[in-house]
Structure formats: structure tokens, C-alpha cells
Structure 1
Amino acid sequence: MFFEQRQAGFSQRAPALAVGVLLFTLAPVKLPAETPTIKSILPLAAAPGKTTEVVIEGQRLAGVTGLWTTFESKISIVEAGKREESRLRLRIDIPEKTPVGIGAIRAAGPGGLSNLELFLIDDLPASTPGAKNTSAENAAAIEPPCAIDSRTTTDHRDYYSFRARAGQRLSFEVMAQRIGSRLDPILRILDSAGREVAFSDDSAGADSRLAWRCEQEGEYLIELRDVIYRGGDGFTYRLRAGDFPLVSAPYPMRAEQEKSTKISIAGPDCAGVESRNVQLPGGSSGRAFSLGARFPGGASSSFVTLLSSDLPELLEKEPNNRAESAGTLQPPCAINGRFANGGDRDFYQIAGKKGTRLVIRGETRHSGSPTDLYLRLEKPGGGKIAEAEDRSYDPGKDKEKGKNYYFEEGVLNYTFPEDGRVILMVEDLIRRGGPEHVYRIEVRHGQGDFSLELEETLYSSAPGGDLKVKVRCRRNGYDGPIELVAEGLPGGTKPGKARIGKGKDSAELKITLEKDLQPGSMGTFRIFGTPADGGRARRIEARTREALRKTFPRLFHPPRILDGLAAFAVTEAKK
């Protein structure tokens, strides 16, 4: 199940895949032109096909006129007398077919758009417990399937009680750091005597999750705390309890655009989730789609993120765990594989002519797989040529010119010195394996490459003004000029032209807002770059990963649905 999102805020239907913005309207009164700030949202999720009442707390909320969202929605304001600066009550209606997943919200007004706040789409019924469930004796009673939105208290544990039948399978999951919380959760299941029967820590990034089968009918406790007993503002969580599968990534990890692809689900506990055929639209390469997953007859869902691809997406064919039985790859292509057991290795062979350059790029943890991928390029018959694994670096401190990503999975660059072939060996760095350990490796002929990054995810200007978008370039063998264009803009805007000059690492692209646009209007866009030497046709989308890392410093892998997306607001002119 996928969703196409709509862009509004201007009275014009957006192209497919534009992230949604839906504007609610108020009576024509003068509102303060101050930029709103979101501090918290409760509940932490809205349910598909239902109306969810949401309370936003923050600053300068009295002038809010709309919401920017990454999901299709209908928003209405709940007014009870005078608008408050620190509190805003809204109703959110989401179409029934919207899949569960992580989205985001911004509050909008004449003063601009607020900070970005992550927000879930969840099909579990939710509630908020009282503040006194910090002992086993005062545990808050729950009845799965359900979700609880709360926050931890310093030096305390939170307790929830539930009843389970013998043989019943239940899943428990803490959504915390994945939605921007400071909480590093530990999750335990205790029996009526206080004995631990299940435990989880750092099983979904820093978050906790587990699947548990009850051996004896009775009352049980959930114990939830921060790893070092922190709590208070910023330590929010959503505790999910139900029959949902534990999932990590789709398999294959990307689907070729415009082609029907059979997608299965990889994860530590998802056997029985049915595969399905999906077809992603043309022109969507690199974009992220949320895919819900549940067991047949189940009452609750999990989700994975599926990316669109411009390459043939191949699946490994066993046996390929020895160089002598290596599968053949013909670039350009992507190979998707799985380390089924601990110690599993996969081998591939690639042929090339003298002078042909290969760029080999791994993908795992960016897209949900727990695999720490290791790549090794060998000569036929043995002998290392090159190796690579993931690495991280601080863009503010890295001295290498043009570096602008915080985290990079393994990349190999190789030029054939003569006609022949090479062997590519791949494995998990610490030799792990299992149903969730999937990977994707992209192999292209390299004629020089580059990547682009936007400095910000949010821009603003008064009517008649310019949005000034700085685009940075990281070069990898391509030193020529790069033409920049903005796409996905609504009516009332006029994108200019920009070029990153030969050997340069940045340029500024201007987008002009028409004079008759109303303050409080908003929209989205993406930036694409194309080599300007006439010999290369491949377009590269500018990413926003570094900017998102600044916004969510505890998220090593920000949600892919946000990567590359920029928002803008029309603000009142400064007097």
C-alpha cells in the first residue's frame, strides 16, 4: 500500500509525489506575523480513516493559519474563544488508505513555517496514561492492540499491565529516537512474580522492540525506562502493543520505476507476511514510499520504506558463496541479496574493457537493514584490489573539499587496467546473518560523478521577493559545470536558472514569488542537477540529509521520506 501525496497551500493540483500541504482557513482577521515554534505534539500519531484531535504546544501559535504535512490530510482548527500563543488544538483527517509510517508536520502562518516535527501515521488505537504509573503496583492497564503516548520521568520506570493467553504472540515496540525523542529506551516484559521473560535494547536503531509468545496465561508487566534513567521534556515515546510483524526493510530494497515488482518484507519476525506487486511511477527515482505490513488476519501494522530506482533491480541467485560460483553483473544495475546465516558471503563477477571505470555503492542501514556492509574487490583467483565499509564524518570539520554528507555506506571506485574481470565479495562486517540482513549494491559505469546537498530544508520570503537556495556539490571524478533546476513548485512562483561552474563546489538558485501571493501560503520543491558538458544525461537530485541531521541530531538516519524535500513560506513584508 503506497500513498501519493498532494501539494496545496496554493490553489493548484501538484504533480504526483509532491509532499502534501493542506491549508485550513480562518475568518479574515489580522493575525500576528511571527514565526511559530512547535515544542510538542500529542498524540504522537494520527490514524488512517479517522479524525484525530491533536494538541500542539509551543510558542507564537496564535497566528497559525495552516499545517504543512508530508501526508495527505484535511486540517481544521478547534477554537474556543481567544487563540492562545502556547497551545493550538487541531483536528486531522487522513484518508483510510494512507499506510502507517513516519511523516512530519510544520505549523504555518504569516510569519513563516515552524520547525519540523516528526509525526506518525499509526493504525493502533491510542491513549495517554496517568502520571502515576512509575511503580509495578500502580501499573497502567492496557489491552493490546493499542498504543500509549507518554514520556519518561527522571530516575523512574514506567509500568503497564496486560493479560495474555497461553500461546498468544504479541509484539511490543517503543518509537522514540526514530521520531526525534531524546529517549534511549529499554523494554522488559515481567511475569506476575517480577521475573524477566523478554528484554530489548537497541533493536531498531536506539529504539526497542520484541516479539514474545506467552507460555502461561496470566497477568504480565511492561517495564519501560531510559537507559540512564533520564526523563522530562523531550523524552516522549509511543509504546505500541499488538500483533504486528517486526520488520526492517523491503526486499528488493528498491523497485525500478514504472515496472511491476514483487516486494517481500525482511525482518527479524515477519515470516508469513505476504509479498505483493507494486509499480512506482516514472520520474520518481530516489523517492521514498511507505509500505505497510501486517500478518494475514492481523489487527495492527508495521511499515518499511521502499525507494524508487532508475536501475534494473536484480535478486541474487544461490549458490554464490564462493568466487568460483560468483553471479555475473552487467552494469548499470543493482543487485539485492541477503545474508541468510551468520558467516554468509556472496560473490559477484564484473567484466570490463581497459579504461572502463566502475562505481560500486552499498546500501543497507540507510534503508532499514541492520547489516554493516563490507565490500572487497578481488582479482580472479584471489588477491585484494580494494575494500570499503561505511564511514561517518562531521561536515563542519572534514577538511576534504566538498564533503557534505554525515554518513556514507561503502563505495568502491575502480578502473580496469586491461580487459578482464574482477570479483566482488560482500559480507556483514562482523559476519552476522538472518532474515533481516538484506543489502543492495549499485554498480554503474563511472565517467565521473557528483552529489548535491541543500544547506537548508526551509526557505521564506515576502511576496515579490526571492527564495535564495544554496546548493553544494561534492565531486567524485566529474569536474565540469552542472545545471540546476527547481521542480515541484506550485503556481505563483518563478524558478530562476543557476549553474555550478567548472571545478566549483556551490551555487545559488533563486525562486521568485509573485507579488499577489498571500502571507501564510506555502509550498515545496526539489532541486536537480544535470552535467552541462552534453555527454551525460543522468540527473542527480539534491539531498537534504545533512540539514536534517542538524534538525534531528539524534537521528543517524533521518526518514527517507524527507530527504531532498525543501519547504517554503510566504511571509509578511518587514516594515
Structure 2
Amino acid sequence: MAISVCKLAFASSLCLALVGLNTTLVAQSVCLPAPRLLTTMPMGGTTGSKVEITISGENLEEADELIFSDSRITAVHKINADGQREPNKYLVSIAGDCPTDVYEARVMTRLGISSSRVFSVGRLPELVQTKPCTSLSTAMELPLNSVCNAVMSLRAVDYFVFEAKQGQRIVAECASRGIDSKLDAVLIIADASGNDLLVERRSGLLDFIAPHDGKYVIKVHEMTFGGGPAFFYRLVLRELAIGEPVVRHPSTRSVSSFSWPPTDLPDQATLTEVEPNNDHSKAQKISLPCDISGQFFPAADVDVFEFEAKKGEIWWIEVASERLGLPTDPAVLVQHVARSGTNETLTDIAELSDIPSPVRVSSNGYAYDGPPYDAGSADVLGKLEIKEDGIHRLQLSDLFGGTRNDPRNIYRLIIRKAAPDFALVSWALHMELRNGDRNALSKPIALRGGSTMAMEVVVVRRDGFDGDIDLQMTGLPEGVTAKGLKIPAGKTRGVMLISTHQDAPRSHATTNFVGSAQINGTTVTRTCRLASMAWPIPDSWSEIPSPRLLADVHVSVSGIEYAPLTIAPSQKNVVEATAGEKLTIPLVQIRRCEFSGATMQLKAFGAGFEHLPPFDVPLTADFSQATIDLAAMKTPPGDYLIGFYGSAVAKYRRQAEMVIAAQNAHQLAEQEQLALAATAAKLAEDAKAAPADLKAAADQAAEAAVSRHKSAVAAVAAAADRLKKATEIATPVDLVDIVVSEPIAIRVNPKEASAQ
């Protein structure tokens, strides 16, 4: 089943230590091409307006539709005076009822849908920095209540000037990391001479009261003076009334925030913490259950609450602060209070801090010896079991609050009876190479024909829920199927396998990704959020990855390229076996390019089979098989869904279809040239033999034929040049990635059933 031309690459990758590959692999590149949208300029627009934007990125060949995560934002290609599309330029229309927020922008390319880039929608007029403003003399003037889209130059400071009146409250905000920029902004307000008045190095926001009428300067620079196209920002300049709350520029959410909020939680808490409540003598009295909003302010703030509870009661405590996008680390201590006169005896009942990650993470949070996606949180979610009747005291603090003194560091404290539930997040998995390469790549669900992409799904379980979770994905493009390898009871990890038929047409769709479980006899369905890297980072030893949640789940099919290798079960129906026996699964292997190495090692995922010993399959054969010893695996009877995965080095040819097209064009040009050469020769002979009265016409026809032949010769040369360039582009390159099989359904029957 080998196919001579490698049209495509394999599916998006799966986390794997490539210990089975030979040492020649260390020099190979990781991951086959994926389309990535990296910048738009400007980065946003005003509701009810039209804005022209320019995009850039990686592997955006044949960029077509520009797609947004909200139907109220639409785009068309910009057309030039000749009626032709201007490359990478679009006219974006934003409906008047589009809410102020951040949205996903993606572009459809020859490889499918790209990774996304944030597009902001606001209500203030938008400006664009069109020339450098890196000195006081070249400062860009900004009107109040406007947004400026800008890009930071390397080793530079950007200057902006605005007018203010004495006593006027001005809020300047630099949106950067929250809109996918690599910029860590330092924001400064200075006087008209450039002398600093107010500096902010962390929050990107300055709240300023003008001391007198006149001009003021805003300086912006990157914390380490980095710069370049990836260091874009939106500078928001607003006038606010004294005491009016500051509404921050909308921002993306970190991966850790997927577990917040609980289902059906009201937008506003029913209670507010009341200061002073910093020690036991001033503890705020509450009754359970409760929902309280408060602040970790001032620095080193400790909020103390007291309540009565009875022995045997079980409560669940949840605190949200870090998941609200704040630099906080909440901690809870609950103590039983026994009083005798003026004396107190305190007994620790519960001490709660971080929500642990559902899966192993990198040792330092970003170097790739494990997923850089940390689905855990510095927030609190834990169980409180009352040991005896009486008064209990809860102390809530920010573990590092002594270094923070910001009233914007708020929290939400909830104490409730058990409300079992769960929250899901998923991501395309990465590779870990033995030689120390660490990659953190944004991986759009851009499927090639015949590929299977594996998405890891993890769960945070709430309030004691411990059951199975089934995974489903619906609304897929034509020719695409998705099978969820469930998250078993008591476990935190499952896998979603997304497969595309070899002949699936080019298309894309926003899909519905959910998990379902039985809780107290009722089917509960929860949305699975998707996470991705904000930027592709080939080596995260040198740069910290920035994963975030996406607003939606978009799936596409290239319709042009195919996977180098498809592995599928030879029979599509359920594979049956008897408990305690050996199970053989015949596999079909469709190869579409050459590979380095003769074999590939496969592992299994799927509940009940993840401890299957690795086994080898040939990379030069059309068929292979997996043999599973059910006795050694101690696999109980039941229905299972599994998949196999491994890694291989494909000799990938970029845009190989262009070589075929160029070859055909060159062949046609040669045929045309030969035909015209014959015609020219014949007409030349005819001209020689033509009678005198026809001589002039014959000579003219012969000359025209020669001219057409010369044009044909030039066309052959041009076609040969295009063929040469296409061949150079398609020169095989060794790229290593993950190969994932199509899902395999297995039924293990009990021995008794087989004996009947």
C-alpha cells in the first residue's frame, strides 16, 4: 500500500519520550508543518466599524478565509485597483452588537485552519502606530479615550504624548500578554520634559491624577528591552471620574482557569468581607453555606471568618483568585475553637492550598520534561469534615501577600455542601526528545487526509465526584470522525482521537467538545475547553511557553495533503476476545512516503490497556499486528476503546503536489514547443516553394510560426525553471512526529460466556 509521492505529514503530535529511536534522530527536526497565524495589525477594532488588517505567520500558503470565533465579526479579502486580492490583507466588519471582548482569529490555508491569534473588540476609537516614536521628539500624540495599536522595536522605548487638566484622572493601560503578545510591559507617565512621575513594572496599568494643566508623556518599553513583530501591544488611554472602578482591557484566560466557575454560580457573591477582620477578635461572623467576595488588601492581609458547625457535617471550600487572572496564591486554615472563659484552645481541622494538576507537569513549569500545560491552580478546592460541634474559624490569606499591595487582588470564597461536578480541558500533545530538545508548539486541529490526531483530556473533579466521564465531539467537518477514550472512574486523564478519511474534502467547522457523566442518577454534560500555546517555541529552555485557553474548538481538513502513514485495524467492527487469552489485532499500514529506519515502536492508550508493553511494527510493510496477552494484562471482561501511537522520521516533501503540477506544465510546454517547431519548419519549406504571387504571404506565415516557436521555447524554459523551484521546495526533509492509529474497539468476553 505504499504511495510514491509523500503529499502530507502526519497528524498533530502526542507526548512521547522517543527512547526507541536510533541516535541519528537527534539531528532531526520536530513536527511537520502546521499553519500558524502569528500577528494581525491592528490587533482589534471598534464595534460597528470596519477595519483593514494585515496578517503574518508560518505556513500560511494559499491563505483564504479569515475566520473569527464570533459570527458578528466577518472578513473579506482586500481587493486592489486591478481587481486582485492583496496578499494577507483583509477588511474586517464588526457588528454594532458585538460585545467588548477578545476573540479568536484564524485563517484557512492549504494545510487547513491555522492556530489562532487574539482579536480585540472595544468601544474606543482605534489608532495605529505607523512610524517609529522612540524619542521624545518623535512622540505620537494620543487623544484621551482612545486605543493605539503598536509594535515595540528592539532595545527601544516608545513615547506618546497626551493633554490633561489639573485634577483630571487618567488611566493608561498597556494590554500585551493578555492579547498573546510576548511583551512584558513597563509603563511610565512622565512630565512634558520626559521626567518620570509614575512607573509600573508588573500590572501594565497606571492610575494617574494630573497635577497641573499641560502635556504629559507615556513611555512604554519591554521589561528586558526585547522587541520585534511578536512584541505588539494596545495602549489604552482613558479619562475616568474619581472613584470610578477601572475596567481592564479584556484578556485571554490561563489554562488553570478552566475549572472556574462552578456550574450555575451567580456573577456576584451574596456576601462581602467586612474589614477589619484580620484577627480572631475581629472575625467576621458568617453562617454556612456562604458565598463571599473580598480582597487580599492591604499587603499581608489575613481575612478571618467564624461560623458554627456540627460534628459529622461535610463542607467543600473553594477559593478563586489566581483563576481570575490575578498573581495570588490563596491558602485556607480552618480551626475548631474551644473557649473556656477568656482562653481559647485551637485545633487545626483543615489546611488547604493548591488545586493539584490532574497530570504530571514540567519540573520547573516550562522546561519540557513534561507537559507545559499546568491544569492545576494556586487556588483552593478541598474538603472540610467537622470533627466536633462548635465554633470554627477560617483564615484566608495570600501566601505571598506580603509582597503585594494591590486592591485589585480580589477573591471569591465559597463554602457549600457537596455539589459533585467536573471540569474538562484538552490540548494537542507534544513530543519530548531524548537529546534535550524541548518544543512547545501551537497545534491547530488541521487534519491531513488519512491522519489521526490525539488530544489529551484532563479533568478536575469537584466535591467528591469520582465516576466515568465519556467524551464526545460533534459538528465535525465532512469525512472526520472523533472517538473519545473515556476518563475512567477515579482517573484524571482521557484521550480524544480525531480521524479523517483519506478523501475528506477541504473544509472547516466549529465543533462541540463535551464530556458526560452520571451524577446522582442524572446525566451531566460539561463543555471541554481547548488550550494551546500562544506562540510556537521550538526550544523552551531559552523561552518560557505561554499556554492559554481558546474561545472555541475549530477543526479543519486540508483536502490537499495526506498523512505519511495511516495505521488502522483491518476490520472496522469490534475485535472480540476471551478473558485470560491472547488477542491478536491485525493492522493495515498505508505508507505515503519513505521513512528513516525499518521499524517503529508502538504503545497503547485507552483505559485498561495503557500498561501494554511496547511492540515493534515494520515501516516497510503494508500489514502488521498487535498481540495482547490479556492474562498478563489482567484485563477484566468489558468493552474497551484504545489506540496505538509511536514516532517515526518521515522524509517529508513540502508542497509535493506542486512538483506534479509543474511536471505536467513542463511536459505540455515541451509538446507545444515540438508541435510549433514542426509547424515552423513546414511553413519555412512551404515559403521556399511558394510561387511569386504567394511568396510574401508564405514568408509572413513562416516568420509568425518562428515567433510562436521562440515564445514556446521561452515557455519551456520558464516551465523548467518552475519545475526546478518546485522540486527544490519539495526536496525530502527528515521530520520526526507522532503517528497515531485509528481507534480500535475491543470486547473482552468472560470465560463462562465463551464456554457456553
What TM-score, normalized to structure 1?
0.70
Structure 1 unaligned regions, length at least 5: 1-33, 246-268, 274-292, 295-300
Are 1:111 and 2:111 an aligned pair? yes
Are 1:486 and 2:472 an aligned pair? yes
Equivalent residues in 2 for 1:385-400 (5 A)? 385-390=349-354, 395-397=361-363
Q: Distance in 2 between matches of 1:349 and 1:405?
A: 32
SS at structure 2 position matched to 1:39: strand
Kindly state the Cα deviation for residue 174 of structure 1 after the two structures are TM-superposed.
0.9
Deviation string for 1:294-341 (max 9, x for gaps)?
Answer: 7xxxxxx8558996742464323647825575433434x543233565
Q: 1:348 to 1:458 in 2, by over 3 A?
A: farther
Are 1:238 and 2:234 an aligned pair? yes
8 Å CA contact 1:450–1:478 kept in 2: the answer is no
Q: Distance in 2 between matches of 1:93 and 1:68?
A: 12
Larger RCO (CA within 8 A; separation ≥ 6): 2
Q: 1:317 to 1:233 in 2, by over 3 A?
A: closer
Q: Distance in 2 between matches of 1:479 and 1:365?
A: 23
8 Å CA contact 2:477–2:507 kept in 1: the answer is no
Moved more, 46-55 or 183-192: 183-192
Deviation string for 1:366-405 (max 9, x for gaps)?
Answer: 214455423111112433333344588871349999x952
Q: Report what 2:333 is aligned to.
A: 376
Deviation string for 1:383-439 (max 9, x for gaps)?
Answer: 3333344588871349999x9525331333333345556332213332566642321
Q: Distance in 2 between matches of 1:510 and 1:62?
A: 27
Q: Report what 2:293 is aligned to.
A: 336
Are 1:65 and 2:64 an aligned pair? yes
Q: Distance in 2 between matches of 1:75 and 1:39?
A: 17
8 Å CA contact 1:451–1:473 kept in 2: the answer is yes
8 Å CA contact 1:320–1:347 kept in 2: the answer is no
Q: Report what 1:9 is aligned to.
A: none
Q: Distance in 2 between matches of 1:125 and 1:310?
A: 36
Q: Distance in 2 between matches of 1:506 and 1:307?
A: 21
Q: Report what 1:414 is aligned to.
A: 384
Q: 1:127 to 1:311 in 2, by over 3 A?
A: closer
Q: Report what 2:95 is aligned to.
A: 95
8 Å CA contact 1:154–1:232 kept in 2: the answer is yes
- Pick from 207, 211, 224: which aligns with 1:215? 211
Structure 2 unaligned regions, length at least 5: 1-32, 254-259, 339-345, 429-442, 563-756
Q: Distance in 1 between matches of 2:451 and 2:546?
A: 34
Are 1:453 and 2:419 an aligned pair? no
8 Å CA contact 1:469–1:508 kept in 2: the answer is yes
Q: 1:478 to 1:90 in 2, by over 3 A?
A: same
8 Å CA contact 2:47–2:97 kept in 1: the answer is yes
SS at structure 2 position matched to 1:345: strand
Kindly state the Cα deviation for residue 42 of structure 1 after the two structures are TM-superposed.
0.1
Q: 1:520 to 1:469 in 2, by over 3 A?
A: same
Q: Distance in 2 between matches of 1:406 and 1:49?
A: 39
Deviation string for 1:77-123 (max 9, x for gaps)?
Answer: 11336657xx4111111121323232221112452111221221122
Amino acid across the alignment from 1:147 = V
Amino acid across the alignment from 1:240 = V
Q: Distance in 2 between matches of 1:400 and 1:36?
A: 24
Q: Distance in 2 between matches of 1:537 and 1:418?
A: 36
Q: Report what 1:48 is aligned to.
A: 47
Q: Report what 1:120 is aligned to.
A: 120
Q: Distance in 1 between matches of 2:321 and 2:200?
A: 22
Q: Report what 1:262 is aligned to.
A: none
8 Å CA contact 1:483–1:498 kept in 2: the answer is no
SS at structure 1 position matched to 2:129: coil
8 Å CA contact 1:458–1:566 kept in 2: the answer is no
Q: Distance in 2 between matches of 1:119 and 1:36?
A: 18
SS at structure 1 position matched to 2:309: strand
Amino acid across the alignment from 1:422 = H
8 Å CA contact 1:377–1:425 kept in 2: the answer is yes
SS at structure 1 position matched to 2:217: strand
Q: Distance in 2 between matches of 1:433 and 1:480?
A: 39
Q: 1:132 to 1:520 in 2, by over 3 A?
A: same
Q: Distance in 2 between matches of 1:128 and 1:400?
A: 40
Percent identity reads 21
Deviation string for 1:481-536 (max 9, x for gaps)?
Answer: 4132436736867765653234544333456779997513221323224257x567
8 Å CA contact 1:486–1:528 kept in 2: the answer is yes
Deviation string for 1:173-226 (max 9, x for gaps)?
Answer: 1111221222222122222333222222112xxxx2112222222222222212
Are 1:361 and 2:325 an aligned pair? no
8 Å CA contact 2:110–2:560 kept in 1: the answer is no
Q: Distance in 1 between matches of 2:484 and 2:94?
A: 37
Q: 1:470 to 1:573 in 2, by over 3 A?
A: farther
Q: Distance in 2 between matches of 1:476 and 1:302?
A: 31
Q: 1:454 to 1:202 in 2, by over 3 A?
A: same
| Alignment length (residue pairs) | 480
Amino acid across the alignment from 2:187 = L
Q: 1:199 to 1:397 in 2, by over 3 A?
A: closer
8 Å CA contact 1:37–1:59 kept in 2: the answer is yes
8 Å CA contact 1:337–1:439 kept in 2: the answer is yes
Kindly state the Cα deviation for residue 455 of structure 1 after the two structures are TM-superposed.
2.7
Amino acid across the alignment from 2:224 = I
8 Å CA contact 1:35–1:110 kept in 2: the answer is no
Equivalent residues in 2 for 1:2-41 (5 A)? 36-41=35-40
What TM-score, normalized to structure 2?
0.55
- Pick from 424, 433, 443: which aligns with 2:394? 424
8 Å CA contact 1:486–1:526 kept in 2: the answer is yes
Moved more, 88-97 or 388-397: 388-397
Q: Distance in 2 between matches of 1:555 and 1:131?
A: 30
Amino acid across the alignment from 1:395 = V
Q: Report what 1:290 is aligned to.
A: none
Q: Distance in 1 between matches of 2:213 and 2:470?
A: 63
SS at structure 1 position matched to 2:229: coil
8 Å CA contact 2:284–2:304 kept in 1: the answer is yes
Q: Distance in 2 between matches of 1:388 and 1:502?
A: 24
Amino acid across the alignment from 1:98 = C
SS at structure 2 position matched to 1:230: coil
8 Å CA contact 2:38–2:535 kept in 1: the answer is no
Q: Distance in 1 between matches of 2:405 and 2:182?
A: 30
8 Å CA contact 2:514–2:525 kept in 1: the answer is no
Q: 1:350 to 1:43 in 2, by over 3 A?
A: farther
SS at structure 2 position matched to 1:572: strand
- Pick from 405, 413, 416: which aligns with 2:375? 405
Q: 1:455 to 1:548 in 2, by over 3 A?
A: same
SS at structure 1 position matched to 2:323: helix
8 Å CA contact 1:349–1:422 kept in 2: the answer is yes
